[in-house]
Amino acid sequence: MAGAIIENMSTKKLCIVGGILLVFQIVAFLVGGLIVSHYSFLSLQAHPHFPTSHPLHPRKADVGPQSSWFLLQVSQSSSGISIFSGTSVVQRRFKVPTPKILSLLSSLTPLTQENEFYENDEYVQDSDKNHAPAPTTAVPYMSIKCVDVRKNHHKTRWLVPWGPNKCEKIRDIEEAIPREIEANDIVFSVHIPLPSMEMSPWFQFMLFIMQLDIAFKLNNQIRENAEVSMDVSLGYRDDMFSEWTEMAHERVPRKLKCTFTSPKTLEHEGRYYECDVLPFMEIGSVAHKYYLLNIRLPVNEKKKINVGIGEIKDIRLVGIHQNGGFTKVWFAMKTFLTPSIFIIMVWYWRRITMMSRPPVLLEKVIFALGISMTFINIPVEWFSIGFDWTWMLLFGDIRQGIFYAMLLSFWIIFCGEHMMDQHERNHIAGYWKQVGPIAVGSFCLFIFDMCERGVQLTNPFYSIWTTDVGTELAVFRNISGKQSSLPAMSKVRRLHYEGLIFRFKFLMLITLACAAMTVIFFIVSQVTEGHWKWGGVTVQVNSAFFTGIYGMWNLYVFALMFLYAPSHKNYGEDQSNGDLGIHSGEELQLTTTITHVDGPTEIYKLTRKEAQE
């Protein structure tokens, strides 16, 4: 008699295989949680109230909470400070020995109004060897208010907030009134990245969200269902001296959802609304070193454009990109796992073709699951380092969608093939009621993804957001009822059923464990600060989540094809009365639902008879 490999394995061998898989699973988590990053450092960005006599003050005229700021970069050997002014863009850069950093921080802390810590990478070569690369980095940007007094604004030069060709600026909107500067002449300019830094293709993508600082005015309140209309231009260049090249230019509408918690009276004028953040931009590749955003808020009272949106004081952006160190770890995992899954997939199909019977439905589905996993693993992302492939995010979503649809279909078919009832299966048509909704749902998600990321291939500012436990319990109950009749069966028949029941419960428990770990690590990544620290060792929880769960599902598919491949081991003949009448060397079927041209198998007849009883 022959079945799946797992049916013929001893408990000792199965424990050994499980132990090996567990070791690889632990390694997958440690790869993301503990691997050393050579591109990380600690950054502190703060908006200080520098006294005019303070030696760090960039310029005496620039006193204010938002007019000047500094960037502190701490590495293992030394620390650098860059001081910038929002109006004069004065930059001073010097290095301080790291042992003196504590006293430096203590002297700067009283001067700061708000501090934001974030990890960055690819910007300096000094690194903290005790930290693993976080999956992503969030960088805050404050727009600079430039003045463009030329006609035909869309055809004028780019307005750069700092550098040799910096634009003419104003400190705040109130300054524009005495200078007779109209709203259509004000351009909010944002340079990406921050000064003295460069973007890298290893960042893979850029996602930006927007926060509008809107002040309350009695004569200019935010009306209900207000919509802000922005004229946005995105440009890029690869050095500090070449001209900017336009990448996108769109009219971007966004709905405002703001509340004012204080009474709307004269004494509360100047206070800020509490507004929801707005999705702003997403780019699927970072192929250039420098990017520039010019944002205009054109006003047209006749067409009711940007009327009744309050007094916008500032525009703040938060840019999110993947870290270069994590990208390299991710690519390395994909490169390693691709041949591993491919080899086991070829081995699995070879064992099936060696059988004297054609492959059954469950074997075909397992093979298809291996193909979908291999499709995810193929590291085509390596090409995105040298090519400007903005469609990589969409391509990644399609690959994941195919795998998820195949995984859900496999679970349904696996349960169905182990339902020991009188229904004839082993054909995909028998599962159309279960697999059909999965196909329809996956297709709807594909259309949804195409409506957003498909459009973002040409318009990065587009956002669509502006515009089976019961079945498993039933199967377990059905199988548990079959277990009570096992002692009365012949040896061959009993071994076959025991193997079927064992492999079903084994896979269901592993599946539930994988699903539970996925949910647990997702929750942990949302409620923790992103890293845990034990002594001098820091574990990046978010990185461990991505690499660990990705490795876990690869091991799941690997174990599935290995343990459920057809076994060529035979038990021999069973000469007892009432046996199946199988001659020596004849193979039993892998599942209970295989049907031959000459009629149902004896096992199928047996299960149907018991079901009728």
DSSP assignment string, 230-290: EEEEEEEESSSSSPPEEEEEEEEEEE--EE--S--SGGGTTPBPEE--EEEEEES---SSE
Predicted pLDDT of residue 606: 37
Cα–Cα distance between 533 and 560 in angstroms, integer? 35
Residues 323 and 43 sit within 8 Å (Cβ to Cβ): no
Main-chain phi, psi angles of 373, to 5 degrees: -65, -40
**Rounded CA Rg of the chain:** 32
Predicted pLDDT of residue 166: 84
Predicted pLDDT of residue 86: 41
The DSSP secondary-structure symbol of 4 reads B
Predicted pLDDT of residue 190: 93
Residue 302: which residues within 8 A CB-CB, separation 6 or more? none
Q: What is the pTM of this model?
A: 0.63
Longest dimension (CA), the chain: 107
Predicted pLDDT of residue 295: 93
Predicted pLDDT of residue 64: 37
CA distances from 175 to 58, 184, 271, 313 (A): 20, 15, 18, 11
Residue 418: which residues within 8 A CB-CB, separation 6 or more? 475, 479, 500, 504, 591, 592
The DSSP secondary-structure symbol of 428 reads G
C-alpha dihedral, 182 to 188 to 189 to 190, nearest 10°:
170
Residues 245 and 236 sit within 8 Å (Cβ to Cβ): yes
Predicted pLDDT of residue 152: 58
Cα–Cα distance between 143 and 139 in angstroms, integer? 13
- Copy the structure tokens of residue 193: 């990245």
Angle, CA 137 vertex, CA 135 and CA 140 arms, to 5°: 165
Predicted pLDDT of residue 235: 93
* Helix, strand, coil abundance in the chain, percent, nearest 5: 40, 25, 35
- With H, G, I as helix, E, B as strand and everything else as coil, classify residue 566: strand
Cβ neighbour number for residue 48 with a 10 Å cutoff: 22
Buried b / exposed e over 107-142, threshold 16 CB at 10 Å, is ebeebbeeeeeebbbbbbebbbeebbbbbbbebebb
Neighbour-count burial of 1, counting CB atoms closer than 10 A to its CB (0-12 exposed, 13-18 middle, 19+ buried): buried
Ordered DSSP codes for 527-557? HS-SEEEETTEEEEHHHHHHHHHHHHHHHHH
Query: Angle at which helices 361-377 and 541-563 pack, to 10 degrees?
Result: 150
Give the residues of the chain that fall short of pLDDT 70.
1-14, 17-18, 21, 25, 28-133, 150-156, 417-426, 466-510, 520-542, 544, 564-613
Q: Which of 247, 125, 252, 266 is nearest to 188 (CA)?
A: 252
Cα–Cα distance between 314 and 307 in angstroms, integer? 17
